[in-house]
Amino acid sequence: MTEPMYAWDHDEYCDRFVAEADRFAAVLAGADLTTEVPTCPGWTLAKLVKHAGIAHAWSAANVRAGAAPGPVPARSLDLGLPDDPSGLPEWLAAGARRSAAYLKASGPDAPAWTFGPEPHARFWGRRMLHETTVHRVDAELALGFEPVVDPEVAVDCIDELLTVIPGAGTSPRDFPGGTGETLHIHTSGGPRAGEWTITLSPDGYTWTRGHAKGDAALRGDAVAVMLVLHRRRELPDGVEVFGDDSVLTRWLAATAL
């Protein structure tokens, strides 16, 4: 198993998570929250923002519960949802601040249930940064805005994705049986470029960081590649696929969250 590699310390992840929630709320301010979200089929902006806010509260609740054998039931949370949907953006930003403050006060080593390989609070600071960033992008795309993401955040988002896929509703048994096919991912466009190689196996996948040659390769700007891997965009200009593109197709189909 490839160990998590954090780009920033726990407090900075929490601060970046709050900043992303503020951006998300700003995108939604004055928007028609009944607008459908194409990248989350069946969802409206109202459902999208509620989902993100529940995730923020849930992250803190799982740290508060300590080393529990399972997750805190989301339905048990006191969410304080506003009566008027127009208050959802403010609710989102305020809830993110509360959750991030709790995560910071708990410290990175506080035990917590997680669905990743890291059973501590630091998992949730990182997870909430990327959860919030991706859903902020969903809102922007739904409203016709061109999303802007920090390339360093995009690189870390790709790295984190590879660590959480097995526990985030897609288990290794859901993957099409592989026989060692490899997919190499190479990002550019920022001070912290990233490279990863994924190997498909009969019971799932393994992955490593660093340069390698794959049966297929996905290469391009870090933000564009991140959006492709999260299935928020088809292959845009500037993102290239080399080799056996069926390997990439199988990977994307198997990792839809």
Same domain, 136 and 225: no
State pLDDT tens for residues 28-45: 999 999 999 999 999 999
Give domain status of residue 118, yes or no. yes
Q: What pLDDT does 188 receive? A: 86
Q: Is residue 138 part of a domain?
A: yes
Domain limits for position 210: 155-254
pLDDT at site 173: 43
Do residues 180 and 195 both lie within one domain? yes
Q: 106 and 25, same structural domain? A: yes
Q: Is the pLDDT of residue 140 over 70?
A: yes
Q: How many domains in the chain? A: 2
Mean per-residue pLDDT, 176-187: 88
pTM given for the model: 0.95
| High-pLDDT (> 90) share of the chain, % | 83
Quote the mean pLDDT of the chain: 93
Task: Write out the DSSP string of the chain.
Answer: -PPP--SS-HHHHHHHHHHHHHHHHHHHTT--TT-B-TTSTT-BHHHHHHHHHHHHHHHHHHHHT-S-SSPPPGGG------SSGGGHHHHHHHHHHHHHHHHHHH-TT-B---SSS--BHHHHHHHHHHHHHHHHHHHHHHTTPPP---HHHHHHHHHHHHHHGGGTT--GGGSPPPSS-EEEEEEESSSS--EEEEEEETTEEEEEES----SEEEEEEHHHHHHHHTTSSS--TT-EEEE-HHHHHHHHHHT--
The CATH number linked to 136 is: 1.20.120.450
Residues 217-236: pLDDT tens digits? 999 999 999 999 999 998 87
| 53-82 residue pLDDT tens | 999 999 999 999 999 999 999 999 999 999
Mean pLDDT of 204-220: 93
Claim to verify: residue 220 and residue 122 sit in the same structural domain: no
